[in-house]
């Protein structure tokens, strides 16, 4: 199994890059794990407390569960990936059965911050877009898809997103084998990653 980790700040385009990679690959050959599925279970907290959580700090992620799941997949076992709600700030209680594939992609802002998880990646990719570009994309996306308003996104950006990005996320660029610039759509880089995956699939 080849495990590819894709990190980068919020709104840099990780999900978009993953979808572009998958677009021209045979369906079902590559498995996807999203770090968002591994936000800590917050069922014990009322909604008013969940809203206040710093979702850009590494402690907000259940890395133990993510590590167990990656080990299971490596050992050929299917996992039940939790489904996360950005509206409820919690897992929904549903899961998605995720089967082990020859190539697994793990994507998320904080996945390269954890030494044990980092070691499990055969290829580490950091997707880079400038912070103003990321903020604009995040604003549009969170208002359109994640039930947020302008004030919520901007307050969160100032209080947690920006400082956590500088403290935890941006420094993980140094672990990357490949850095993909995404201020514009980057089809050349996407094609390079797809070629690596195709080679792995052809030799499987």
Ligand X SMILES: Nc1ccn([C@@H]2O[C@H](COP(=O)(O)O)[C@@H](O)[C@H]2O)c(=O)n1
109 contributes a contact to ligand X by CB under 6 A: yes
In this structure, what are the phi and psi dihedrals at residue 40, rounded to the nearest 5 degrees? -55, 145
Given ligand ADP, ligand X, none, residue 86, with its beta carbon under 5 to 8 Å by kind, binds ligand X
By Cβ distance, which residue is nearest to ligand ADP? 13
Helices (H), 75-170: 115-119, 131-145, 150-156, 162-164
Q: Compose the 111-150 pattern: x for residues touching ligand X by CB under 6 A, - for all others.
A: ----------------------------------------
Q: Compose the 146-175 pattern: x for residues touching ligand X by CB under 6 A, - for all others.
A: ---------------x--------------
Angle CA 87–91–96, to nearest 5: 115
Q: Which of 198, 25, 169 is nearest to 107 (CA)?
A: 169
DSSP secondary structure letter of residue 170 = G
User: Closer to ligand X at the Cβ: 84 or 186?
Assistant: 84
Chosen residue from 2, 3, 10, 200 binding ligand X by CB under 6 A: 10
Sign for the CA dihedral angle at 9, 11, 16, 17 comes to negative
- Residues near ligand X (CB under 6 A): 10-11, 14, 36, 39, 55-56, 86, 89, 109, 161
């Amino acid at each position: 199994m080849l495990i590819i980790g894709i990190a980068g700040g919020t709104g840099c385009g990780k999900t978009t890059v993953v979808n572009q990679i998958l677009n021209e690959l045979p369906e079902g050959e590559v498995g996807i794990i999203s770090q968002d599925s591994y936000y800590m279970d917050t069922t014990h907290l009322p909604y008013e407390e969940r809203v206040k959580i710093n979702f850009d700090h590494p402690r907000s992620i259940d890395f133990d569960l993510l590590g167990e799941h990656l080990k299971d997949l490596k050992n050929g076992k299917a996992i039940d990936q939790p489904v996360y709600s950005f509206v409820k700030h919690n897992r929904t209680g549903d899961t998605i059965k995720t089967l082990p594939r020859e190539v697994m992609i793990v994507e998320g802002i904080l996945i390269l911050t954890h030494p044990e998880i980092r070691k499990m990646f055969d290829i580490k990719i950091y997707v880079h877009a400038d912070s103003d570009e990321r903020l604009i994309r995040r604003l549009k996306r969170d208002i359109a898809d994640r039930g947020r308003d302008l004030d919520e996104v901007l307050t969160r950006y100032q209080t947690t997103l920006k400082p956590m990005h500088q403290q935890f996320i941006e420094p993980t660029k140094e672990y990357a084998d490949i850095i993909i610039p995404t201020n514009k759509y980057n089809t050349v880089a996407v094609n390079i990653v797809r070629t690596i995956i195709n080679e792995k699939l052809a030799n499987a």
